[in-house]
A and B are shown apart, each in its own frame.
Chain A
Amino acid sequence: MSEKVLMKGNEALAEAAIMAGCRHYFGYPITPQTEIAAYMSKRLPQVGGTFLQAESEISAINMVIGVSAAGKRVMTSSSSPGVSLKSEGLSYLAGCDLPALVVNVQRGGPGLGGIQPSQSDYFQATRSGGHGDFRKIVLAPASVQEMVSLTFKGFDLADKYRMTVMILTDGILGQMMEPVSLDMGEVRQYDKPWAVTGTQCKRPHNVVNSLFLQPDKLEQMNFERFARYAAIEEDEVMSEEYLTEDAEVCVVAYGAAARISKNAIVAARAEGIKVGMIRPVTLWPFPKRLLRSMAEKVKAFVTVELSMGQMIEDVELATRCMRPVLLCNRTGGMVMTPDEIFRKIIQANEIGGAE
């Protein structure tokens, strides 16, 4: 294992992208993800890559489409309002079955909102975030190390399934410094016979396209895409379980909220409350099966979110509302204290117990 280095989350993510073989980055300045662009503008020319500051988020995502269509690994990053602008491109990436890595370092919204950390783009991220029937794989790191490992993994999944992978993170993880190992092993290469690289007059032309005017053909394309999504739901779910073995209360939290939750869980355990946590690492595909089986064992769930409560709907769906699901949340860039979560855990323990 290689030595660990101390890095900021955003910069570690950018370096991981380069290690994963990404040589093209397009972006537009927006807080709190600007370190990614700044890092790329310095590093990519050193490794023979291309950094280009686009005239808009819309142009940046379309430049991503161009590089991806040409068969190369490519990424863009932004923060909430910028990701809204990219939603057109996200839909075209899906319609064209193109791989791409898109990073959203979330800030509070709606509208221009604020620049403090938030998790309020969960709906946008996990419900396609663009027109038409499609999905994105959504990865939620909870440490600087995971900013690295999930970026590396994200490029692989994007190529494997020919689709967009979104890293959904926030200003806390983006700005935080932690020691990380950058040793991620081999980069797997994928054949891309569909890429537009020039026919060399040796093969029929490749067409990267999302237009299908015949409804039966378009329906078929969507069926095939969703068959691929079904395979992803089967094979690619990732989550962390923390002290769930004997848990009677289950916290569900991802990203920064999961880190804060761990402190509260330790404190509650010290009071004798049997509480554990499921931390979804993939927000789509969501760890539905694990939550469903947890619902058989626990009295109640607590979702901890930096939003008005978005993931809570997925928890209720996954558990078919078998148990009460409480919400512990702050929003707008405010962050809950471990104590606020602790009190919600106590409440869940009592409500569950009263049943």
Chain B
Amino acid sequence: MTVFEKPKSLTDAVMHYCPGCTHGIVHRLVAEAIDELGIEGRTIGIAPVGCSVMNYDYFTVDMVQAAHGRAPAVATGVKRANPGNIVFTYQGDGDLAAIGTAETVHAAARGENITIIFINNAIYGMTGGQMAPTTLPEQVTQTSPYGRKVEQAGYPIRISEMLATLDGPAYIERVSVDSVKNVRNAKKAILKAFRTQIEGKGFSLVEVLSACPTNWGLTPGKALEWLRDNMIPYYPLGVFKDKEAAK
């Protein structure tokens, strides 16, 4: 009996991610959710700019690669063209919370019936570890070599809390993939986000606290510890918006 296999919605392509990077885990969770919901044939994914730019090679569903930050606008077009499709974007923190802030906020405000998987690892990965909008105070990056000084560089943005103030979104939750228990919770949240869209309830976003060992300068194990000790206190896990539960 097979007890563990690759999700159908993942291709056989070898992923290019660094050792200890959690993109692979989140890709798998997304693919498992698509499989379990039986929506592989009608799902369209929107790839971002950033480390996961080439995820169009990893998912078996139809994919569009968007300009930096524009994935929610592209997703809006795809969804409006064929409302029967299930449309998700997969975006990092630079893409979603800096260059694409307007697209993110307004897709949420419109209650656009799409799902966003938001990878928050507090750094720009692909370009080599620059300060992100979600970089923590005092965190050292290539462009905050003395640590992020809030007097000069401002404060990190808590996207889930910010978007939860809007009336548009149906479901917003922040999860983490630093432990087995949290990975299981992340899976549940991603499933719920897709289900929210399938049921036509509107905008859903799952923020996934993720590790970037390479650019954090830590081993994979230490990176998960750093995430747990530093990111979770600043970015508390939990449901920030659930229109269904509020009823």
- A: residues with CB less than 8 A from B are 24, 26, 50, 52, 54-56, 58-60, 62-72, 74, 88-89, 92, 96, 196-202, 205-211
Contact = CB atoms under 8 A, between A and B. Distances in A.
Interface stretch (B72-80, B162-170, B175-183): B72-80
B54 interface: yes
Contacts of A205: 59-63
A199 B60 contact: yes
Interface in B147-203: none
B80 to A, nearest CB: 5
Q: Is the interface of B mostly helix, strand, loop or mixed?
A: helix
Contact of A24 (B40, B41, B80, B103): B80
A198 to B, nearest CB: 4
B239 interface: no
Nearest to B79: A66
B56 interface: yes
B62 A67 contact: no
B81 interface: yes
Contact of A65 (B61, B66, B85): B66
28 contacts: A26-B77, A50-B80, A59-B76, A62-B67, A62-B74, A62-B77, A62-B103, A63-B73, A63-B76, A64-B77, A65-B64, A66-B75, A66-B78, A67-B80, A70-B85, A74-B81, A88-B67, A197-B82, A198-B42, A198-B61, A199-B60, A199-B62, A205-B59, A207-B63, A207-B64, A209-B47, A209-B64, A210-B65
A208 to B, nearest CB: 4
Nearest to B71: A62
A66 B62 contact: no
B106 interface: yes
Contact of B41 (A71, A201, A211): A201
A211 B77 contact: no
B76 A198 contact: no
B70 interface: yes
A200 B42 contact: yes
Contact of B103 (A59, A196, A200, A201): A59
A156 B74 CA distance: 23
A196 B78 contact: yes
Contacts of A63: 73-74, 76-77, 80
Interface in B84-116: 85, 102-103, 105-106
Contacts of B57: 207
Nearest to A56: B102
A59 B73 contact: yes
A207 B74 contact: no
A211 B53 contact: yes
Given A196-B64, A205-B60, A205-B62, A55 B106 contact: yes
B41 A70 contact: no
B214 interface: no
Given A24-B80, A52-B80, A72-B81, A196 B73 contact: no
Contact of B67 (A69, A71, A89): A89
Interface string B6-48: 0000000000000000000000000000000000111110110
A24 B77 CA distance: 9
Nearest to A88: B67
Contacts of B59: 205
A59 B63 contact: no
A69 B64 contact: yes
A70 B81 contact: yes
Contact of A66 (B42, B54, B74, B105): B74
A198 B44 contact: yes
B82 A211 contact: no
A52 B62 contact: no
B102 A59 contact: yes
Given A62-B77, A63-B77, A208 B65 contact: yes
A67 B78 contact: yes
Contacts of B47: 209
Given A59-B73, A65-B70, A207-B65, 10 more contacts: A65-B77, A66-B80, A69-B64, A69-B77, A198-B44, A198-B61, A199-B61, A205-B61, A208-B65, A209-B65
Given A59-B70, A196-B44, A67 B65 contact: no
A285 B102 CA distance: 36
Nearest to B86: A198
A210 B62 CA distance: 15
A69 B63 CA distance: 9
B29 to A, nearest CB: 19
A98 to B, nearest CB: 9
A10 B35 CA distance: 47
Contacts of A69: 64, 74, 77-78
A55 B42 CA distance: 28
A55 B56 contact: no
B95 to A, nearest CB: 13
A63 B114 CA distance: 13
Given A58-B73, A63-B74, A66-B73, A196 B62 contact: yes
B77 A198 contact: no
A64 B73 CA distance: 9
